[in-house]
Structure 1
Amino acid sequence: MQTKPYLREVSLRHDILPSTEEYPFDISAIKNLDVLKFHSDVTFFVGENGSGKSTLLEAIALSVGFSPEGGTKNTLFQTAETVSQLHRYIKTAKSFRTPKDHYFLRAESFYNVATYVDELRDFGVISSYGGRSLHQCSHGEAFMALLTAKFRGNGLYLLDEPEAALSPSRQLAALSAIHQLVKEESQFIIATHSPILLAYPHAKIVLFDSSGLSEIQYEDTEHFAITRNFLNHYPHRLKTLLDE
């Protein structure tokens, strides 16, 4: 019997919503959320800055038991009160089986998670990240340590802009690591701007825009179209952009 997706869907409790004129309920994609079903392997959130991708991902993470700043479900700390109240108004539907592994990656607060891990070095926590302090790694090396050492498979992994610290070649390596974990019965939900990560085959891509949420094909994303156009015509595009 199929166990994935561990997280099947998320829905918005419109019946108990406060004013839709207040953040984050004034965001079009959030306001128009009814039921969003997840792919059993990889679901991507895409859209412009401020479209609600990270806000919804954070709410999902909080609703399933993660700390606001990320980490495992045992990473329980918070350095700032920046969490929206969205998690109080969503409902998640899960599989009859729970994943054996969990992680929520927030690029913007990963430094704080790394510090927390260092503080627990006497308890052997660092060994699960490859045996090296994350502060002794580059940002990209630390992110890759998650994918290749910390993530053990049979997991639910929520990643917010994981490409932030990754070079193009490391993004390709991340694709390979994600695929290996998918083959090991893992599920990913990823908010990203990376046209490289978005190329993962058969993934569900959900566009956040002013009309709400909609599923979109990879070749129809702005990320693909703009990147391809720029690389194919970059001298002309640069001349136009720089007015030279």
Structure 2
Amino acid sequence: MLKEAMQEVRSKITPKFLILSLLLIVAIISSAVYRSQNYELRDGLNFFTFTLDGTLPISFPIITVLVYAASFSEEVHHRFLTYTRMRRPIIETIYIKLIANVILTCLFFFILVYVCFTFAYYIEPLLGIAKYDPEGYGLTQENIAADTYTRHTFTQLLRYGTFTYSILYSLWVGINAAVYSAISFCLVILLKNRFLALSLPYITYIVVTLSFASLGLNTYRPTYALFPFDYMQSPIWTACVPFLVLAGTLALLILYLRPTLSKADSLI
């Protein structure tokens, strides 16, 4: 099944997909470069978080859906699953596509975040685009590294090197993106309204974020679990709380769908 899922992933990585992905990354970095002209930043970490802390925290669930789940909803709408019956059971096709959805979405966001990190830490210093004033933040060459360790959630990992931080944080965002997309994937099968199925995770994401902010539960906001740049550093385990809720929701959806998936006629 994994082999078929990888074939499905490769079929989705078309020239159009690659161009749109590149344009998105360029747009995110270009926006950060433009906005940075009005600020004096501390260091490369500050530029990296500045890059991600723009429109991405707000649009995150929407982008996760666009990577794969949106095209899957089109296949369901056009009864594409009907034509796969001769090759394999529909339930197997669904699982293959779900795995492909998870892999492609995780990979997409991993690359997006890692490219932004690489630009902030290694390319931007060569170009000299941003303005840095660490002294204005009370930082010196002696204490600036220690400051990064306590600046945001997940920057604790910088104690083990920038490579460790960049890989693990990029993977964290990728995994969360995959779960959001998988939830939408399941809802596409469950709900007749495709727009509602694709937008429900986003609506929940925004409502929970605003509700938790008003209740003073900033540490557990869905946005903070992914892009924790607007609040004080918290233990890494706090970011796992919203993720576990998401993962639990996905597990329940899959368990609920299993009987439905076994009945081919109810899928179309």
TM-score (norm 2): 0.24
TM-score (norm 1): 0.25
Q: 1 or 2, which has the higher strand percentage?
A: 1
Q: 1 or 2, which has the higher helix percentage?
A: 2
* Structure number, greater radius of gyration: 2
